[in-house]
Structure 1
């Protein structure tokens, strides 16, 4: 069954088709920036009843006039049947379009990325007829972007950083940098980034943290995730007032970040956080929660 993280991992390349060429340094290859990129049909079904569909397919044209195809696959688990499917995709596309075809696999898990990187040969050892070696993008080689200025310079790459590092300890700092970078962007640019990030994080606690950031840092956006959180906040704060509802959300986000980072929160500190009604102070504590070594460090400047 196709999941939201699966879709986000490859659809970010449909949203920004030139993102692939900006991964050259991270992936260790030299590739000129394409002058033209076309999103191609992904249905590779033949006349027989077996349906085969690649996740994303791009046609990239270089300045010298040459073109090639890039098939992009999302892979969240090890699947022994996949290499054969990938070999089919590349050979079918090569045969159909008469263009050189490359395969890129996007992963969120280090072990899955190592598995996907292994060359697979279709023939017996003495007759290696066809060898498949995918280009793999994952937490092992995607930049960790925790600087808001760097995130703002390339929002698509920052989104890919968040998606591929969804299970890493750095994810909270990545998300905070991305939400900060989005604060000055118009809605038509910020909305798809907000949605791709939410989808890519799946059901993990990081998604809850992202939802809090969207509600607080990006409160003027109207994306479905922002509206979803604001509806929750309105229901929660209807009797207590809007500010108190937001304060409770920020307090929950602080405690969630500390919990995910393995930092113990004594009862006294927990009470101080949850009873605070100063939104500015809570935002300061939320920012500090990404880097402090103990709960006590949250309050050192107060």
Structure 2
């Protein structure tokens, strides 16, 4: 579901900004210092007297009081003209506040969406046409070398998303996981699984279920060791939670981290069913909990 892939892409980007920055440098002639660490910043981009703006992820580089650059990662799964028109506003508001290089990178698991967001964005300001950097599957290298997969597991997970059906990609990724600490192998396995297409998910399931592969990830162990009946019930719960978030997103209702966490943490299928119906009519996202 889009919400699952959206959350996975945000989590991976937040965890591995250096990997996303490398992909941006490969795609466009922009200045991102390779030696400076990234620091997570608040994602509130305020351009009052208009509405508050919240891109997905905002990083700064350099000193907190005088950053040398601002790097924004916006995850998009489909073509949305309203969101596209917000991108220059993110850049303008951040530049006005920080007075430093501001880069907006749109990441999309869907190539058509990435192509859409890569087009220069004209604005009502004379001479201000903003050139976003969009990263899609075709911009992600095919990781076929185990050393590379182990050195940059975030890139390897993205390679699974983009090229998971290509020969050797899954095997390289899984072998690379064996060289990581258990907590890291678990984390990047989950990123890859959540970002993958259903066909690639099936192949990952087969890989971790095979006697030839140890189960590296607690996520995988929990996900695949349950009985079929329990697995079906878990799948229904997950799909309902994802559907609630998708409906609220499609209706333009703001879903903050607290609301999202409460929905995704719920394991009561009937309660989720009630919230699902409410999501189609409520005025505000949090109103589903009163249904």
TM norm structure 2? 0.67
Report the number of matched residues. 227
- Counterpart residue number, 2:7: 7
Alignment of 1:1-302 (within 5 A): 3-23=3-23, 26-29=26-29, 31-44=32-45, 50-61=51-62, 67-123=68-124, 128-165=126-163, 169-170=165-166, 173-201=168-196, 204-216=198-210, 219-232=214-227
- Counterpart residue number, 1:286: none
SS in 2 for 1:146: coil
Distance 1:175 1:152 in 2: 13
Shift of residue 223 of structure 1?
2.1
Shift of residue 44 of structure 1?
2.9
Gaps of 5+ in 2: 232-291
Q: Is the 8 A contact 2:67 2:100 kept in 1?
A: no
SS in 1 for 2:73: strand
Superposed CA RMSD in Å reads 3.0
Q: Is the 8 A contact 1:44 1:89 kept in 2?
A: yes
SS in 2 for 1:81: helix
Compare 105-114 and 48-57 and name the one that shifted more.
48-57
1:133-186 Cα shifts (integer Å, max 9, x gaps): 1111112221011232332232111112223446xx42x632221111112322
1:9-46 Cα shifts (integer Å, max 9, x gaps): 23222112222343366325464413221011113356
Q: Is the 8 A contact 1:105 1:134 kept in 2?
A: yes
Q: Is the 8 A contact 1:21 1:34 kept in 2?
A: no
Compare 149-158 and 74-83 and name the one that shifted more.
149-158
Q: Is the 8 A contact 1:103 1:135 kept in 2?
A: yes
Q: Is the 8 A contact 1:107 1:164 kept in 2?
A: no
Q: Is the 8 A contact 1:59 1:69 kept in 2?
A: yes
- Counterpart residue number, 1:268: none
TM norm structure 1? 0.65
